Amino acid sequence: MEIFLKERTYIKYLFIGTIPAVIGGITLEEKIDTVFRGVLPIGIAMIATGIFYLISEKLKSTTKNLDNKKSLIIGLAQMCALIPGISRSGSTLATGLLTGMERTKAAEFSFLLGSIAIAGAGVMQIKDVETLPPMDVSAIGLILSAITSYFAIKFLMKFYQKNTLRPFAYYLFCIGAIAIGLFIDIKFFTPF
């Protein structure tokens, strides 16, 4: 009975964490595409995300248990990741650390939250697809993506047990700087 109650509570936390992304996706999708699509905004978003990772590693809290408030805060981080250049999984993981979750628990919650968001986004995109691929192709794609996702998540869960978000922060700084450099080059050195 206790395990069942814990599972129900965890499902409730996942539901709470999903709400901001759903609301943001429905209400802000066009605005985000208009304002944040482009080399410069993506470069800036990547550098901001890297800074956030470093802050989360430095200031992580020590309270352990997930609750409604933490779920909502992590969900808001997932909503921010609708902006191109902001990593969904990294942002939710970093936010989990800031709210006091243990690293592997934060990663687990992040990946579960992400699987709901990705599945929901996939369902929402079906309406825009004019021709669906044949069922056998879809089935193969589904099976292959499930297998690769399983091994990717397994690898990352092991990685997060012993490592921090710092390497990802430095990677984002490099790619963000390249994006901003490309924007400056295109903007100021194009003759017309």
Confirm whether pTM is higher than 0.95: no
The verdict on residue 124 lying in a domain is no
Residue with tokens 């709400």: 19
Domains in the chain: how many in total? 1
The verdict on residue 128 lying in a domain is no
Mean pLDDT of 6-26: 87
Looking at residue 4, its pLDDT comes to 47
Looking at residue 188, its pLDDT comes to 57
Q: Identity (one letter) of the amino acid at 166?
A: R
Domain that holds residue 91: 2-119+135-189
The verdict on residue 125 lying in a domain is no
From residue 120, give the alpha-carbon distance in Å to each of 18, 22, 82: 10, 8, 13
Residue 131's SS3 state is coil
Looking at residue 191, its pLDDT comes to 54
The verdict on residue 126 lying in a domain is no
Half-sphere exposure of 131 (CA within 13 A, CB side): 3
Looking at residue 187, its pLDDT comes to 61
Residue 143: pLDDT band by 50, 70, 90 thresholds? confident
Residue 3: pLDDT band by 50, 70, 90 thresholds? very low
Q: How far apart are CA 72 and CA 69, in angstroms?
A: 5
From residue 108, give the alpha-carbon distance in Å to each of 4, 84, 105: 18, 23, 5
The verdict on residue 42 lying in a domain is yes
Q: How far apart are CA 3 and CA 9, in angstroms?
A: 10
